[in-house]
């Protein structure tokens, strides 16, 4: 079965990995030097078939995702957790290193960025959950991103990401409970 949406990836190796996992067309950004012609291609693809952005779980991947989101805000976004996108010998992180199953799961769970509407999760909730400003907060954010399938984000951007994906306080609470259980802090 062929995916209707066009998958936006960073490069040729990512296209190869995606095509091993699903029957889909791709647009390559050629790394973080994304240009206006590529953004226009993505805009046309979104208007005709829909787009899912699947970039590497690293800083350059976030930079590309942000540029696309700004130019074509209607795109869906798929995230592969960093620990599922690491080269087997530890030499790099990227979509091209992810398993077929990880790519399929990410595409299946692709989110549409929502109009920014305040959610009822507060900054105090993030502090109370140990997600910002404390020891182990980065690891908890990584785990939260994996559980909610919204990708990793730093402490400053976490509330914005939760808002963009309209994560409910209930879904947030369930994820935090699971993280605490894994840490042994029930």
CATH label of the domain that carries residue 87: 3.40.1360.10
Q: Which residue has the tokens 């990584």?
A: 142
Please determine, for residue 164, whether its predicted confidence score (pLDDT) is greater than 80. Answer: no
Would you say residue 11 lies in a domain?
A: yes
Question: Among the three residues 73, 89, 112, which one is the final residue of a domain in this structure?
Answer: 112
Same domain, 154 and 96: no
How far apart, in whole angstroms, are the C-alpha atoms of residue 55 and residue 2?
Answer: 20
What does the mean pLDDT of the chain come to? Answer: 88
Cβ atoms 107, 50 nearer than 8 A? no
Same domain, 108 and 128: no
Instruction: Work out the widest C-alpha separation in the chain, in whole angstroms.
Output: 51
Average of per-residue pLDDT across 23-45: 92
Average of per-residue pLDDT across 51-66: 92
Q: Which residue has the tokens 């929502």?
A: 114
Same domain, 101 and 136: no
Same domain, 129 and 107: no
Domain boundaries, position 108: 6-112
**Full-model pTM:** 0.69
Question: Among the three residues 112, 133, 166, which one is the final residue of a domain in this structure?
Answer: 112
């Amino acid at each position: 079965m062929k995916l209707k949406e066009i998958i936006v990836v960073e490069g040729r190796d990512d296209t190869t990995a995606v095509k091993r996992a699903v029957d889909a067309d791709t647009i390559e950004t050629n790394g973080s030097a994304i240009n206006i012609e590529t953004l226009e291609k993505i805009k046309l693809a979104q208007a005709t078939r829909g787009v899912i952005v699947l970039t590497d779980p690293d800083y350059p991947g976030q930079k590309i995702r942000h540029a696309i989101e700004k130019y074509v805000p209607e795109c869906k976004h798929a995230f592969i957790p960093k620990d599922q996108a690491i080269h087997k010998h530890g030499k790099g992180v990227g979509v091209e290193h992810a398993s077929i199953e990880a790519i399929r799961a990410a595409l299946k769970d692709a989110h549409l960025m929502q109009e920014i509407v305040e959610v009822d999760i507060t900054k105090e909730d993030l502090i109370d959950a140990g997600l910002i400003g404390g020891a182990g907060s980065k690891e908890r954010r990584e785990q939260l991103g994996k559980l909610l399938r919204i990708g990793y984000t730093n402490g400053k951007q976490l509330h914005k990401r939760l808002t963009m994906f309209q994560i409910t306080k209930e879904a947030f609470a369930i994820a935090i409970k699971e993280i605490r259980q894994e840490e042994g802090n029930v």
